[in-house]
Amino acid sequence: ETWLWLPANASSFDIVVFNGQQYAPAIAEAGSYPTTWFLTDTTGPDDGGLPNVVYGTFSEAEVSYAAGYLAGLMSSSKVLGVVAGFPFYGVKRLFNGFRLGAEASCPE
């Protein structure tokens, strides 16, 4: 069975990043791509200790702050936007982090 979320050319990438439990089956296939690193924030399946799989956690507000800060630095118009999902707590943290980062890098 082929997992649809893992591209057939995964070996041509240095790093593949998965965000969400729905990608756990793809992480289980990481052993088939020994030269590619896989980074995920899920607890995922028991990967058997694969050396090319890295599990991590992140704060939504911190990563979106960095994205907002960088967007503010790169924007010549200083007009930025965010497309987000249903406004539950995690999405609100993403939005607020982005806004605060953008305001920090371009306060005008």
pLDDT tens digits for 75-107?
A: 999 889 888 778 888 888 889 999 999 999 988
b/e for 38-62, b at 16 or more Cβ within 10 A? bebebebeebeebebbeeeeeebbe
Say if residues 38 and 27 touch (Cβ distance below 8 Å).
Answer: yes
With contact defined as beta carbons under 8 Å apart, do 7 and 33 qualify?
no
pTM, two decimal places:
0.54
Tell me which residue of 38, 46, 41 sits closest to 20, measured CA to CA.
41
Interval 40-67: pLDDT, tens? 876 555 556 788 888 877 777 888 999 9
